[in-house]
Homo-oligomer: A and B are copies of this chain.
Amino acid sequence: MTNKKRNINASFLLHGGDYNPDQWLKYPDVLKEDIQLMLAANTNTFSVGIFAWSALEPEEGVYTFEWLDKVFDDIHAFGGKVILATPSGARPAWLSQKYPDVLRVNAARVKQLHGGRHNHCFTSPAYLEKTQNMNRKLAERYGGHPALLLWHISNEYSGDCHCDRCQTAFREWLKERYDGSLDTLNDAWWGPFWSHTFTDWEQVESPSPNGEDGVHGLRLDWRRFVTDQTVRFMENEMVPIRELTPDIPVTTNFMADTPDLIPFRGLDYQRFAEKIDVISWDAYPTWHNDWETTAELAMKVGFIDDLYRTMKDQPFLLMENTPSMVNWHPVNKAKRPGMHILSSMQMIAHGSDSILYFQWRKSRGSTEKFHGAVVDHDRSPDNRVFREVAALGANMEKLAGLAGAHRTAEVALLYDWENDWALEDAQGYGLESKQYIKTMHAHYRPFWKRDIPVDVIGKTHDFQKYKLLVVPMLYMMENKTAEKLEKFVQAGGRLVMTYISGVADEHDLVHPGAWQEKLANIFGLCPAETDTLYPADRNSVQYKGKQYELKDYATVLELHGAKAIGSYEKDFYAGTPAVTEHDYGEGSAYYIGGRLEDAFQEEFYEELLIKEQIVAPVRIKKEEGVSIQARFHAHTTYVFIMNFSESEKAIELDQTYQDVLQGGFLEGLYLLKPYEAKVLQF
């Protein structure tokens, strides 16, 4: 695997999406119509082959690439580009029939039947061989095609397999991790507890509802292994691709978990980011739902954008989204007029260089026949959805100059997949109230509302480039992370940390003394106990003359140098410190001991921003519900002003801007219509 830096060097924004002509090979009129409609929709880029294995290799060793040749040529003919997917996301039935080891065994040790998708054993020698072979054929045939823009490796990797081969692979992985020493493994997993000491590697089994499901070290290592095994599978897929098309960049599409739009928790995507050239993801927010405001959901989208964008610190791709609705939400409500353009503009504002759809055309049958598409069952360009897509396409052409523009942030928020897993597994606190991601949102929201750019970083990222670093609930914190935090503060950074941080090391073993040693120095305090509250319990914190409601968690603190700047108001620790500040080296460290209402975070971060003179990239006054984001190119700043509300919102411009989409110039007061998005430039 080379370390060559590859990226898409498109001078335009990609517009198009998943195209499945393989479903329509018996409908030649449809295939013909597709090309015409692609032009009508102002699209330029299509992902093909994602689930086409049966159409590409209907029998083992018999290849039928002709239809795909034509797709490449047809798209190329009108100047379009192709993102070529490896078809490993779904197997042909003949493959499962002939090589049953490709089928997964689930955690209950039940061998699966053929069916569905995304359900392969990633250790299967047959699948490793067959996928690599297929990818080689594709690379050989299309690697040199001028329309080829990007490789799309498989689709939405996920899941795990517990077959005997995977058990063996897991044991090998453990041997490597623990230097071949079962004794080391037993120490790391706190083996003697319940006599869980292993004396033979063969005794180790993956977690199972039928067997061991409570040893935290085992569960954590299994999840790490699953990530590693999936990455290894992806790398295997990439071998012929890197060999035959060394200049074509590679992506794999990431996901988000629904319905609460949070990063996909099944795999540590930071590990994937190291291996691929371009980050891409599939975004399916439940716009217009009945449980949150549009702005709140937009904030959640922004959070994931900022996480995935920060991974490689470069523009990402929106690989899938719907122009209208999906078919798998509990309620599949259509995007209202304006929402598609608004939500697309947000993606671009946060760093996407594309708006790509799942799916180009609705199928007639099977699971996804009602998933929104550019082309509906009516096959017509003359409907609301198609028209909005075409209008967006026209806008994107006006924004072509934006391709590759970057974002920059002085604030970082640390999110860690392994911590998410360990915290979820932790038997303790409130089993349902830990809510790591909701806590991330609580600490991202104040910045988003103020249009302050945030990088959502991982623990291996460089901390030093930021002025302010926020670390909520980093329960599992290895010593080197604490060391990085110390250096960050010593060098002048502002660090904010919350309750339930620094408890366990990378093996999920509680740090001796119950708290990371370095943290005591940095924060000038020691947590004495973490009070866990019932859902109906409430406490409050007095902070700078105001009272803020507290629920779920309250850490009782012993100060050793820190200054209390907020204190609890009730219960046996009433009057004791709840929020503290501590000067350390050139910087300072803040500890928030309790789970406080949003108003606290609003106030708290407002002060920090003023202190650090961290400001939004542009000084436009706005009403609540409006988000303003910027991207930068050499001498140009693109400003996205987006009304995430159902009512008109006023903005007051600080200077004269060029209106990129409508043309002309804009200054002074402007009234945004509901869902209106403006793109300005200066």
Contact = CB atoms under 8 A, between A and B. Distances in A.
A113 B430 contact: no
Nearest to A191: B54
A427 B190 contact: no
A457 interface: no
Interface in A640-675: none
Contacts of A408: none
A196 B533 contact: no
A368 interface: yes
Interface string A418-435: 000000001111111100
A215 B23 CA distance: 14
A427 B195 contact: no
A215 B365 CA distance: 8
Interface in A323-380: 324-325, 327-334, 336-337, 362-371, 376-379
Contacts of A460: none
A385 B327 CA distance: 52
Nearest to A183: B26
Contacts of A370: 426-429
Contacts of A187: 26
A114 interface: yes
A28 interface: no
A601 to B, nearest CB: 23
Contacts of A217: 365-366
B108 A110 contact: yes
A216 B367 contact: yes
Interface residues of A, number: 118
Contact of A510 (B91, B197, B214, B362): B362
Contacts of A90: 194-196
Nearest to A115: B212
A320 interface: no
Contacts of A112: 210-211
A536 interface: yes
Interface string A1-31: 0000000000000000000101101100000
A378 B556 CA distance: 14
Contacts of A367: 193-194, 214-216, 427
A411 to B, nearest CB: 32
Given A53-B195, A366-B214, A330 B431 contact: yes
A199 interface: yes
Given A191-B54, A195-B55, A330-B431, A536 B290 contact: yes
Interface in A76-104: 87, 89-94, 96-97
A553 to B, nearest CB: 11
Nearest to A97: B203
A205 interface: yes
Given A114-B205, A208-B115, A215-B366, A513 B193 contact: no
Contact of A366 (B194, B336, B383, B529): B194
A194 B117 contact: yes
A384 B528 CA distance: 9
Contacts of A529: 324, 334, 383-385
A228 to B, nearest CB: 22
B365 A509 contact: yes
A275 B113 CA distance: 36
Contacts of A514: 376-378
A189 B336 CA distance: 32
Contact of A532 (B53, B94, B333, B532): B333
A199 B431 contact: no
A23 B432 CA distance: 29
Nearest to A380: B513
A182 to B, nearest CB: 10
A165 interface: no
Nearest to A385: B529
A350 B202 CA distance: 50
A337 B113 contact: no
A58 to B, nearest CB: 7
Contacts of A536: 290
Nearest to A558: B383
B190 A115 contact: no
B377 A193 contact: no
Interface of A: 20, 22-23, 25-26, 51-55, 58-59, 87, 89-94, 96-97, 106, 108-117, 187-200, 202-203, 205, 208, 210-217, 288-290, 324-325, 327-334, 336-337, 362-371, 376-379, 383-385, 426-433, 507-514, 526, 528-529, 531-537, 571-572
13 contacts: A23-B192, A92-B199, A113-B210, A114-B203, A115-B208, A115-B212, A116-B214, A193-B365, A329-B431, A333-B531, A333-B532, A364-B512, A365-B509
Given A93-B198, A96-B203, A214-B366, 6 more contacts: A55-B195, A112-B211, A216-B367, A327-B427, A331-B433, A379-B512
